[in-house]
Amino acid sequence: MQDLSGRSVGRYRIVEKLGAGGMAVVYKAYDTRLERDVAVKLIRLEAFPPEVVEHMLKRFEREAKALARMDHPNIVPVYDYGEYEGAPYLVMRFVQGGTLKSRTGKPVHYQEAARLLVPIARALDFAHRQNIVHRDVKPANILLTTSGEPMLSDFGIAKILETGEAATLTGTGGGVGTPEYMAPEQWLNQISPQTDIYALGVVLYELVTGCKPYTADTPAGVLLKQASEPLPSPRNFVQDLPKAVEEVLYKALAKKPEERYLSMQDFAAALELLARGVAQGETATEMSSETPVATTQILEDSTVTLDDRASSLMPFLAQSASLPESPQHAVVPHAQQAKRKLSKWLLYGGLGIIGLCVLAGAIWAAINLFPALMANITQKTPLPSADLITPAAQMDTEDQPVATVPVEAAPSRDELKIAVLAPLSGAVPSFGVSTRDGVQMAIDEWNDRGGVLGKKIVPMVMDSQCAPDPAVQAIHAAIDDGVRFVIGEVCSVASIPVAEIANGAGVLQISPTSTNPGVTVDANGKTRAFVYRACFIDPYQGNVMARFAFDYLNVRSAFVLRDVENAYVVGLADSFAQSFSQMGGKVVGEAAYTAADTDFNTILGEVAAAKPEVIYLPDYYNIANLVGAQAKKRGIWVPFLGGDGWDSEDLDLKAVQGGYFTNHFAPEDPRGEVQEFVKKYTDRYHKPPDALAALAYDTANLMLIAIQKTGSDDPRQVAEMLQPMEFYGVTGAIRFDDQHNPQKSAVIMKVRDDGVHFEMIVNP
Ligand code: PHE
């Protein structure tokens, strides 16, 4: 395939080739619409026989959609897919720091190896829960961000290409999986989560020992070994490798799928223990002196007072006297030193063992060639034998007790996970993107300053689709995963059922944007102790719009539209209608619809007949787009008024041109902290922040400050800390009332054909 550099593939301008495999070429490209770098993976059409191409394209499309829904911080996100001259392509995030392959070839300390693989195991577990098996886990598919964070890529590519592979590649000796990392049963096309466990086990083996367990000149040779040869003892390569590490390797690399870890979650838990140094023969003192440990562990000892970083936090911290003096914050003074120590250690460790792969390989060959010899050698040096595959049995015979690796998931001591429930798919995906990005930016800033309570903050972004069922599923999955802090959902209809669950489970939830009162207060009028929000509520928002219409637009008649199935829309419509009437205005007509409706002509006929001066349509932007466009088409130019749900880069400006909506934030706000935030955000994401991004940013800061001030990550204590707290964010000041609602002022935005513009601030 020719090099496409300089060409345009859809809206992506190809910059340069990054790499090429048998079936696909990966390019660095520039997304001209969103103005950011991306990676474009273009399938080589010529690698497939014509008969299978059509079928493959269909599969590709289906799989791309499944992949796009898979949102996990350690999975390279898929942004888009398309077709270029008949060949399908995937558009993914561009990750800059190389791949894990660069770390192979010489032994990496087992703790470091496990630390690198824990997030990958978690990502795979996340995928397995959605019935997606990766099938091609290997170092080359584990990308490293510039900060060294591992990210799994090429998700499901193997599955997508399966048809083509079956037809062509077996003949050429290729294979979709990579032979060295393929479980024995994968050759028989028996794919299960266990297949990925095996492959990740091979990666761990390779990192820890510096060698792949099975190599041969041909794929068939590798297959034979995977299926029949016992695992070469990792201690052949690293003599002082703790037994617990070997035990994990033997279990992950068991020949029979059912003898491996029962789930990726179990494997992840075992890796987490290894990452923390829970391995036989290593005492705590040993670990703290010479062995490399995660930077966050080192950081726990060093604290500085608030003054050192007060300036960067100032917008968010109460400047009033209610702020306790000098809270302690962990910082990173020794991080550099620690890193240097780490690489030195790796270098020495590496040098000492280099070359051993070859030697051990030779011994290994000898053993296999001369079985008689094997008996002799195994007596002297414990070399692999069949029963070693059942590690427990073997270990029991050793004199020293072995630290068992529990199967239960153990939350990592050095991480604070925050679930982010964001609608990344469904009717309003732009809400999800802004929310995710706003939270991510705040968390990155905290992590750059050393995290919270000495822990690294890890967002778990989950696609909750602005709908009750997926949101409920997401919160259950998060809780199962040990998460105790939740940001989200965006939409009230999703936040309400989540609130019920979070509150019951003692999990702290702050919704950045859900404005329906029923989020923080339950059906009996009782405030949920564990649920807060960072925005004003709908009775206020509806009232503000009524005031604006009555006092500033000077209108006296309005038509009100309601999605009767959406609590957010109903709440806003009701409060607007009530306030407007009380002021002396007249609601000259009302109409009901549901999200399933697409044809609004009948309703618009009623609107035209009622001759209102304004139409209140407090729904999400997708509905505003639909109704607005149909109205303009019919020649109805009465201005539409809306609520915060209109706030999206996907709002169709033409459809609701001339209208106004209430909102939480305007990038034009001249306050210094707002301008600083707008600049940072725009530099990073190449577009200005909307209200959701700003509220998400504030919410993450609010939550983390509360945790920091509490000095503990016990959600109950943090919730209690929040109640009286004062917080100044980019969306304004927060002080909670006894229903956990902040009183904030609203802004009115005007929709013009060239964009959405700040009109005025309305105070309560
Ligand atoms: N307030 C909306 C709700 O409660 C969500 C939303 C907020 C949407 C801000 C867009 C912008 O459902």
Q: Ligand 1 pocket: which of 428, 465, 491 to mutate (most atoms <8 Å of CB)?
A: 491
Tell me if residue 399 is catalytic: no
Region 649-668: what's the mean pLDDT? 94
pTM: predicted TM-score of the whole model, two decimal places: 0.52
- So what's the pLDDT on residue 553? 92
- Lookup: tokens for 338: 């620690």
- So what's the pLDDT on residue 357? 52
- Which CATH fold topology does 8-93 show? Phosphorylase Kinase; domain 1 (3.30.200)
Residue 645 alpha carbon to ligand 1 centre in Å: 5
- Lookup: tokens for 715: 């959600």
Residue 413 has pLDDT above 60, yes or no: no
DSSP element (H, E) containing 542? helix 538-547
Name the catalytic one among 80, 125, 136, 154: 136
> How would residue 579 be classed by pLDDT, with cut points 50, 70 and 90?
very high
Closest approach atom of ligand 1 to CA 513? 7
> How would residue 159 be classed by pLDDT, with cut points 50, 70 and 90?
low
Q: Is the CB–ligand 1 distance for residue 499 below 6 Å? A: no
- Long-range contacts of 217-222, Cβ-Cβ distance < 8 Å, separation of 24 or more: 218/173, 219/173, 219/174, 219/175, 219/179, 220/173, 222/179, 222/180, 222/182
Domain 415-536+669-749 = CATH 3.50.7.10: no
Dist CA 573 CA 452 (whole Å): 41
Residue 634 has pLDDT above 60, yes or no: yes
Residue 547 has pLDDT above 60, yes or no: yes
The tally of CA atoms less than 13 A away on the side-chain side of residue 86 is 9
Q: Is the CB–ligand 1 distance for residue 619 below 6 Å? A: no
Q: Is the CB–ligand 1 distance for residue 511 below 6 Å? A: no
Q: Ligand 1 pocket: which of 489, 490, 536, 570 to mutate (most atoms <8 Å of CB)?
A: 490
Closest approach atom of ligand 1 to CA 514? 4
Q: Is the CB–ligand 1 distance for residue 490 below 6 Å? A: yes
Maximum mean pLDDT: which of 162-166, 242-246, 360-364, 490-494: 490-494
Residue 538 has pLDDT above 90, yes or no: yes
Nearest CA to ligand 1 atom 12: 491
Instruction: Out of 282-286, 299-303, 625-629, pick the least confident.
Output: 299-303
Region 165-190: what's the mean pLDDT? 60
- So what's the pLDDT on residue 444? 94
Residue 279 has pLDDT above 70, yes or no: no
Residue 569 alpha carbon to ligand 1 centre in Å: 10
Nearest CA to ligand 1 atom 6: 645
DSSP state of 390: S
Contacts of 692 (CB under 8 A, 6+ apart): 431, 434, 435, 438, 490, 512, 513, 647
Cα–Cα nearest to 183, from 282, 83, 254, 258: 254
Indicate the SS3 state at residue 563: strand
> What are the tens digits of pLDDT across the range 431-455?
999 999 999 999 999 999 899 999 9
Of 366 and 620, more confident: 620
In this structure, are residues 466 and 491 in contact, taking their beta carbons and an 8 Å threshold? Answer: yes
**DSSP, residue by residue, 463-496:** E-TTSHHHHHHHHHHHHHTT--EEEE-SSHHHHH
Dist CA 698 CA 213 (whole Å): 49
DSSP element (H, E) containing 721? helix 715-722
At how many degrees (to 10) do helices 193-209 and 243-252 cross? 140
Q: Is the CB–ligand 1 distance for residue 543 below 6 Å? A: no
Q: Is the CB–ligand 1 distance for residue 571 below 6 Å? A: no
- Which CATH fold topology does 538-663 show? Rossmann fold (3.40.50)
> How would residue 333 be classed by pLDDT, with cut points 50, 70 and 90?
very low
Dist CA 526 CA 663 (whole Å): 27
Q: Is the CB–ligand 1 distance for residue 70 below 6 Å? A: no
415-536+669-749 and 538-663: same fold? Answer: yes
Residue 492 alpha carbon to ligand 1 centre in Å: 7
Region 517-541: what's the mean pLDDT? 97
Cα–Cα nearest to 764, from 661, 613, 614, 662: 662
Contacts of 412 (CB under 8 A, 6+ apart): 118, 272, 275, 276
Region 55-59: what's the mean pLDDT? 72
Domain ranges of the chain: 8-93, 97-285+320-393, 415-536+669-749, 538-663
> What are the tens digits of pLDDT across the range 703-730?
999 999 999 999 999 999 999 998 999 9
Angle (CA) 753 754 758, round 5°: 100
Maximum mean pLDDT: which of 74-88, 222-236, 279-293, 459-473: 459-473
Q: Is the CB–ligand 1 distance for residue 699 below 6 Å? A: no
Region 139-152: what's the mean pLDDT? 88
Q: Is the CB–ligand 1 distance for residue 431 below 6 Å? A: yes
> What are the tens digits of pLDDT across the range 427-436?
898 899 999 9
- So what's the pLDDT on residue 177? 65
Dist CA 589 CA 557 (whole Å): 9
Q: Is the CB–ligand 1 distance for residue 625 below 6 Å? A: no
> What are the tens digits of pLDDT across the range 302-321?
222 222 222 232 222 222 22
Residue 232 has pLDDT above 80, yes or no: yes
- So what's the pLDDT on residue 170? 31
Q: Which CATH class is domain 97-285+320-393?
A: mainly alpha
Dist CA 764 CA 762 (whole Å): 7
Nearest CA to ligand 1 atom 10: 645
**DSSP, residue by residue, 257-287:** GGGS-SSHHHHHHHHHHHHTT--TT--HHHH
Q: Average pLDDT of the chain?
A: 79
- So what's the pLDDT on residue 215? 87
Closest approach atom of ligand 1 to CA 541? 1
Region 393-397: what's the mean pLDDT? 26
DSSP element (H, E) containing 592? strand 586-593
